[in-house]
Amino acid sequence: NYGIVLDAGSSHTALYIYAWPAEKDNNTGRVEQTHSCKVKGKGISSYASQPWKAGESLTLCMQEAEQKVPNKRHHETPLYLGATAGMRLLNMENSSASDKVFQAVEKALQKFPFSYQGARILSGQEEGAFGWVTVNYLDDLCSCCVLTSMRFLSPSQGLETTGALDLGGASTQISFVSDNYDGSESPSNSVTFRLYGNDYNLYTHSFLCYGKDQVLRLALAQQTQVNFHPCFHPGYTEIKNYSVLYDSPCVSGRKPQGAPENFTLRGNGSFGQCQEIVKSVFNFTSCKYSQCSFNGVFQPLLQGPFGAFSAYYFVMNFLNLTDTSIPLDTVKDKLARYCATPWDEIKLHTGVKLSYLAEYCFSGTYILTLLTEGYNFTSESYSNIKFIKKVSRSYATLFLLHTPQMPHDLSSFPVDH
Ligand SMILES: O=P(O)(O)OP(=O)(O)OP(=O)(O)OC[C@H]1O[C@@H](n2cnc3c(O)ncnc32)[C@H](O)[C@@H]1O
């Protein structure tokens, strides 16, 4: 059997093909990702003003899929497109534009011989849940993946599940199982699963606008009128366009009246000051629950190990800060030294896009602030986080979308090795 998923994020779209044996034994059925293809350009939401291009952008990867899936399987191979926060934002801002993007995507996908199952925006809850299932299913947190699958088979033996921390471009998700959470407090944060006959009650929350690209907009928007921005390296200079910066519902309300066309961004590389700016994007003033993370959102006590992926990994890996056994204060010192490094030195780094290089100081500061101030990881619990590279959320998406009703009964969710 084959299945195809298009993961349409705010910054990129990628196609994944999965294959698994037709005769599925619940415990030994193996699913393999047999092919992946990165769609050229940004996420499909970036085609809001030219929707037909969103469809066209997918064509090359779809042609690859046609080649990779054997002809005789084409008609029975389900094809899904799940869009995340970029499309959520576009839908909020201009729902007719997002409808047009979906129509164009639909038209393009239906030209292919697969069993097209629809394109839709995933809810924040679904996105969080997919990340959690993937981390617990495909994680590399334990050296032996058989143990990973056993974890799902026999949690009653005391094997703890792993929480998921996902940092995208436009949103961020936190999902974990906590003994203190049965779903009664803030039920909108609860997702229940039935997986291999075991019930899981997951806490999950997706913070729209708290992906790293949107928080960078917020951090820039606050500092357009000052001489230096502390989240950029000393010597860094860039002309920024006001309209481009404020072209997102996450910041549009903050555009200063009578703003000129451009402003000049100059860095002075101060981690401490950058952290103050980043902290100010969180609201800690009110919480109507027993406890909150930020913006009045309920969060139970953190529990167990966590896998942090997507931008968490890209950024911390670049900064050589994935080792969470290093004391948090040392991590902060290292990041402070990195931020203070002159841009002339930073830009010599080869093989990394200049735009990413310019942003690692900000992104590292945001990640540490989100984890500690936002989610309440402490110097002790920080070491429970593992920054992990390989998480293909679409993997879980494929199977969860196959079982459309929540709570999901994933009793046929195959086990990988
Ligand atoms: O879930 P949403 O919010 O829609 O976002 P996404 O799906 O597009 O998000 P990704 O996980 O693909 O990427 C998260 C962010 O990491 C950025 N990113 C990707 N590769 C990177 C790298 O090597 N270094 C730094 N950042 C990177 C990317 O531009 C996004 O801002």
| Predicted ipTM of the assembly | 0.98
Question: Active-site residues: which are they?
Answer: 127
Residues making up the chain, counted from first to last: 417
Do 228 and 364 belong to one domain? yes
pLDDT for the residue numbered 410: 46
d(CA 168, CA 83): 12
The token pair that represents 157 in the structure block: 């033996």
Ligand 1 neighbour 170 (Cβ under 6 A): yes
Q: Which helix (H) or strand (E) holds 96?
A: helix 95-110
223 and 345 share one domain = yes
Q: Are residues 231 and 371 in the same domain?
A: yes
Q: Are residues 279 and 380 in the same domain?
A: yes
Residues 204 and 164: their CA atoms lie apart, in Å, by 9
| 257 domain-assigned | yes
**What distances in angstroms separate CA 18 from CA 38, 148, 196, one per listed residue?**
15, 19, 20
- 51 touches 177 (CB < 8 A): no
Domain that holds residue 10: 2-121
Edge-to-edge strand ranges of the sheet holding 171-176 = 385-387, 306-310, 163-167, 171-176, 198-208, 190-195, 408-409
Helices (H), 182-286: 212-221, 242-245, 271-279
- 89 occurs within a structural domain: yes
Which residue CA neighbors atom 9 of ligand 1 most closely?
A: 168
CA 95 – ligand 1 centroid, Å:
24
Evaluate whether residue 346 is within a structural domain.
Answer: yes
Half-sphere exposure for 123 (CA within 13 Å, toward CB): 13
What is the domain-level CATH number for residue 293? 3.30.420.150
Q: How far is the CA of 167 from the centre of ligand 1 (A)?
A: 8
CA-nearest of 317, 308, 314, 288 to 375 is: 308
| Ligand 1 pocket, residue 397 CB under 6 Å | no
Q: What is the pLDDT along the chain (417 residues), one digit of tens a residue?
A: 888 999 999 999 999 988 877 654 444 445 677 899 999 988 999 999 999 999 999 999 999 999 999 999 999 999 999 999 999 999 999 999 999 999 999 999 999 999 998 999 999 998 998 888 888 866 443 333 444 454 554 444 456 889 999 999 999 999 999 998 999 999 999 998 776 667 788 999 999 999 999 999 999 998 877 889 999 999 999 999 999 999 999 998 878 788 888 999 999 999 999 999 999 999 999 999 999 999 999 999 999 999 999 999 999 999 999 999 999 999 999 999 999 999 999 999 999 999 999 999 999 999 999 999 999 999 999 999 999 986 666 655 655 555 443 334 444 433 332
Q: Chain-centre distance of CA 189, in angstroms?
A: 17
Cβ proximity of 180 and 300 under 8 Å? yes
Could you read off the pLDDT of 46-59 as tens digits, one per residue? 999 999 999 999 99
- If you search the block for the tokens 């602030």, which residue do you land on? 369
Q: Model's pTM, two decimal places? A: 0.92
Residue located nearest, by CA, to atom 29 of ligand 1: 11
Gap from CA of 170 to ligand 1 centroid (Å): 9
- Among residues 65, 90, 121, which one ends one of the domains? 121
Please name every residue paired with 174 in a beta bridge, in sequence order, or none if there are none. 165, 205
Q: Pick from 5, 7, 12, 357 the residue to mutate for probing ligand 1's pocket: most ligand atoms within 8 Å of its CB.
A: 12
- The reply to whether 341 and 231 lie within a common domain is yes
Cβ–ligand 1 distance for 168 under 6 Å, the answer: yes
* 127 CA closest ligand 1 atom index: 1
Rounded CA-CA distance 107/31 in Å is: 29
Q: How far is the CA of 123 from the centre of ligand 1 (A)?
A: 18
In a domain, 144, yes or no: no
Q: What CA–CA distance (Å, rounded) separates 126 from 232?
A: 34
Q: Which of 88, 121, 154 is the last residue of a domain?
A: 121
Asked which of 102, 121, 140 is the last residue of a domain, the reply is 121
User: What CATH number is given to the structural domain containing 92?
Assistant: 3.30.420.40
Q: Which of 6, 11, 91, 391 to mutate to test the pocket of ligand 1 (most atoms within 8 A of CB)?
A: 11
Distance in angstroms (rounded) separating the CA atoms of residues 366 and 353: 19
Annotated binding site for ATP: 169-173
236 and 90 in one domain?
Answer: no
The reported pLDDT for the residue numbered 307 is: 95
Both 247 and 115 in one domain: the answer is no
Work out which ligand 1 atom sits closest to the CA atom of 309.
11
Task: Please state the atom number of ligand 1 nearest to the C-alpha of residue 359.
Answer: 25
Residue written as token pair 């006001």: 242
Q: Where are the alpha helices (DSSP H) in 35-94?
A: 51-68, 85-93
**7 assigned to some structural domain:** yes
Domain count, the chain: 2
In angstroms, what is the span from residue 180 Cα to ligand 1's centroid? 32
Round to whole Å and give the CA distance between 52 and 59: 11
CB 83 within 8 A of CB 76: no
pLDDT of residue 392: 64
Q: Does a structural domain hold residue 191?
A: no
Ligand 1 contact via 215 beta carbon (within 6 Å): no
